Chain A
Amino acid sequence: MRVTTAQMFNSATYNINKTQQNYYDIQQTLLTQKRVNKPSDDPTGASQISEVKNSMNRLEQYGRNIDKAGSFIGATELALSEVIEELNKVLDTAIDINGGNATGTDYQVAAQQIESNFANIVQSANAKDGDRFVFSGYRTSTQAFDSNGDYQGGSGEYIEIEITGDNFLEINLCGDDVFKGPIDVFQAVSDLKAAVESGDQDQIKAMIPTVEAALDQIIAMRSGIGSKTVRMEAAEENNASLEEAYAQILSNLEDIDIAEATSEYAYQEEVYQATLMVSSKIFEQSILDFIT
């Protein structure tokens, strides 16, 4: 076939362009260390990357949710422990005075003791996580109980928080469930106090089991909270292992195989140099050098 001058020059230019393009592409890949820099690099991969990143963001969100839930539940648990302590003190006082030969002033002192325990229980029942009253249902900005132990919060109002995909945790206990029923803790304590105050040993004796039952009620509530903590921890673990899996998927999707890319780079560099060398040789040759 006939080979013309323009043809040689054109094809040399074309080939230099092509090899330069390949050389540039692999450079870009190495510089960004990513195999997907734009959707067309891997159309399905690009949308998977967006999806995996979204899932990872959600896991991060669940992490923040669990932190918030943990703080709320922690405040609830602490408050219940305080109440248990106070109720134990109340029982101690009652049992002490019930057993022996107490006098009038002893009854008064014991009654005052119980009254201050009562106040402490009210205070614990009005515990807060940050600015939020933990036992008020949705009425988190309203005190759960007034000083008489009357409930002011919402009934059956449970605050839910998503702790892992489609898994919601109720983080709060409503004050009326905890303190008002089946046994009214405040009523039990104030009845006992009244009995102590009046020095009626039979009455005191009769009231002690009620207060004990109230204590059991609170202890049961606290262990209910404990099981929530276990659920949160399980969710946290689950999220952590998912996150690891997603990170692996993401890395597979978008990171380059460095060894492969580096050898590809070396190869393209060689091709480019060879093309330049051959082209320069072509340009050098001319019949004009041989005729005079």
Chain B
Amino acid sequence: MPGIASILSIASQAMWSSQTGIEVVSNNISNMNTAGYSKQTLNLNSRSPVSINGLIIGRGVDVTDISMAQDRFLDFQMFNSKMALGYSESRAYGLSSLEEIFNESDTDGLSQAMTDFFSAIQDMATTPEDQAGRVSLVGQAEILINQFHTMHDRIRNVQDTQNKNVASDVDSINLLAQQINEINREIANMESSGHTASDLRSTRTELMNELSELVDYSYFEGKDGQINIVIGGSRPLVESGNVNKLVTIGNADGNWDVYVEDVNGNRANITSKIEGGSLGGSLEVRDVECKELLDDINEIAYQMSTAFNAIHFAGYGLNGSTGINFFNPLADSTNAAKLIDLSVDIKNDVENVAASLNGEPGDNANALLLAELEESLLYNGGAKDFQDFYGGVITRIGSESQSAEREYNTQESVNEQIVGLRDSLVGVSIEEEMADLMKYQYVFQASARLYNIVDEMAEIVANLK
């Protein structure tokens, strides 16, 4: 039976709904700067009307739901762009420190050291009977050797840094996977009542966003609202309430391989299957670019020292010595740039430097043969001389670094666009919230006014005589 009391109930319902609206607004405002936060909206519905004396009268307002702005496709795009961004960023940084090692624009570089070394041989060839020329040749050889060592060390340092990044990325991934798993459970719990756990979902989206920056993965949402995450092509990382973990295990090169370990302790190596995120970028720099560069300078050190020794061995020193190696002989190119060194004979006595071919002190024929090595086709299986080969290395690392930098810039702007689009759809706008705030405030004021009216009406009824 409709009456004054029912008006009171409508008014109180209206006050409660606008109060909830203001709560939603204040929650939106407070989270304006929270990463990943999606704007929430209060959904209202008018109550089912009742029919009285043939009239259908509305019964006020109902709060049905608080929903979040969301676009799953945009989330997916954002994750993908973050994976590409993380990958290109770590690759761009790794490669820029690598290319510095091959920077010949200053005077100190391998090419310069090589040129100086062969210049010293030519100088010695002009006065083979002098000690001074030999001393300076041995000095230049030491500079060249030092340059090989330094380059080897610097490339190894970059490789080490990438390797440490791998380990720390793995730690961060494990932490995020655990957090996502916990939030998964809470969401499943809360949403069993049928409502959307908007704040938890926002937080989870942000965690997944952070995970995207670290590694590539695929995901799908289960019926209970839990997100399942699959990593390394086919290995579950987070799966219906369980979380597996990544572990690092040293490989033959002394670097970390990445394994997925399930709850039973079974491990699978996924190192070669990680292709995105900063983890993917670090692995690429470590296992491809650094490795190639190390191979290249090892090849130079090995081929050059071996060819040099072969000629030197046949010549004669100022003291009549022969059959002497200039460099310590290397078995193969493994770590050659690190191992290359002068032989003990040369270190002990510069007269052992074999400039002569017939044993006479004024003979420079062997020195001339040695000098020719500067332009001999020693590298790439006998196809290239030093300048060609090393120039190729410089061009390769330069263009790799250049394209990585460009890719990073492109990904940055792609990401900026997607984040902007997402902000536009799900972000909080202060202006909008202020408008909403005023809207709810008016409803609240008007409903309070209703109380007054009902009060007055009740008084009139009570005073009826």
Closest CB in chain B relative to A83 CB, distance in Å: 21
B102 and A11 form a contact (CB under 8 A):
no
A287 and B362 form a contact (CB under 8 A):
no
The complex places the Cα of A37 from the Cα of B33 at a distance, in Å, of 40
B399 and A40 form a contact (CB under 8 A):
yes
The answer, yes or no, to whether B81 is at the interface (CB within 8 Å) is no
Q: Which of B294-302, B304-312, B419-427 contacts A (4 or more CB under 8 A)?
A: B419-427
By beta carbon, the residue of chain B nearest A54 is: B115
Q: Which of A61-69, A191-199, A235-243 contacts B (4 or more CB under 8 A)?
A: A61-69
A64 and B126 form a contact (CB under 8 A):
yes
Which of B392, B427, B438 is A4 in contact with, Cβ under 8 Å?
Answer: B427
B167-188 interface with A by 8 A CB criterion: none
By beta carbon, the residue of chain A nearest B318 is: A141
The answer, yes or no, to whether A6 is at the interface (CB within 8 Å) is yes
Of residues A43, A136, A139, A162, which shows the largest number of chain B Cβ atoms within 10 Å of its Cβ? A43
B397-454 interface with A by 8 A CB criterion: 397-399, 401-402, 405, 416, 419-420, 423-425, 427-432, 434, 438
B362 and A54 form a contact (CB under 8 A):
no
A276-292 interface with B by 8 A CB criterion: 286-288, 291
A47 and B391 form a contact (CB under 8 A):
yes
Name the B residues within 8 Å of A228 (CB-CB): none
The answer, yes or no, to whether B368 is at the interface (CB within 8 Å) is yes
The answer to whether residues A168 and B362 also contact, given A4-B424, A5-B32, A14-B416 and a CB cut-off of 8 A, is: no
Of residues A14, A36, A38, A162, which shows the largest number of chain B Cβ atoms within 10 Å of its Cβ? A38
B96 and A50 form a contact (CB under 8 A):
no
A5 and B127 form a contact (CB under 8 A):
no
By beta carbon, the residue of chain B nearest A130 is: B127
The answer, yes or no, to whether B42 is at the interface (CB within 8 Å) is no
Name the A residues within 8 Å of B102 (CB-CB): 39
Closest CB in chain B relative to A129 CB, distance in Å: 9
The complex places the Cα of A288 from the Cα of B102 at a distance, in Å, of 56
B129 and A38 form a contact (CB under 8 A):
no
- Chain A: residues with Cβ within 8 Å of the partner, total of 57
B112 and A44 form a contact (CB under 8 A):
no
The complex places the Cα of A59 from the Cα of B210 at a distance, in Å, of 57
A140 and B401 form a contact (CB under 8 A):
no
B427 and A69 form a contact (CB under 8 A):
no
The answer to whether residues A39 and B398 also contact, given A139-B360, A162-B371, A286-B430 and a CB cut-off of 8 A, is: yes
B32 and A47 form a contact (CB under 8 A):
no
Name the A residues within 8 Å of B428 (CB-CB): 4-6
Name the A residues within 8 Å of B361 (CB-CB): 138-141
B360 and A137 form a contact (CB under 8 A):
yes
Q: Which of B103-111, B223-231, B344-352 contacts A (4 or more CB under 8 A)?
A: B103-111
By beta carbon, the residue of chain B nearest A39 is: B398
Name the A residues within 8 Å of B430 (CB-CB): 5, 286-288
Which of A38, A49, A50, A160 is B100 in contact with, Cβ under 8 Å?
Answer: A38
The answer, yes or no, to whether B99 is at the interface (CB within 8 Å) is yes
Q: Which of B51-59, B117-125, B284-292 contacts A (4 or more CB under 8 A)?
A: B117-125
The answer, yes or no, to whether B365 is at the interface (CB within 8 Å) is yes
B95-153 interface with A by 8 A CB criterion: 95-96, 99-100, 102-105, 109, 111-112, 115-116, 119, 122-123, 125-127, 129-130
The answer, yes or no, to whether A42 is at the interface (CB within 8 Å) is yes
The answer, yes or no, to whether A256 is at the interface (CB within 8 Å) is no
Residues of B within 8 A of A (CB): 32-33, 39, 95-96, 99-100, 102-105, 109, 111-112, 115-116, 119, 122-123, 125-127, 129-130, 356, 358, 360-365, 368, 371, 387, 390-392, 394-399, 401-402, 405, 416, 419-420, 423-425, 427-432, 434, 438
- Top 6 nearest A-B pairs (CB, nearest first) are A39-B398, A140-B362, A43-B398, A47-B391, A138-B360, A4-B427
- 12 further A-B pairs in the complex, CB-CB below 8 A; given A39-B398, A131-B130: A40-B96, A41-B402, A43-B402, A46-B394, A47-B391, A53-B111, A53-B115, A54-B111, A57-B119, A58-B119, A65-B126, A130-B127
Give 22 CB contacts A-B under 8 Å: A4-B39, A4-B423, A5-B428, A6-B423, A11-B420, A39-B395, A40-B99, A43-B399, A47-B390, A47-B398, A50-B390, A53-B115, A57-B116, A61-B119, A140-B360, A141-B129, A157-B360, A161-B125, A162-B125, A286-B430, A287-B434, A291-B434
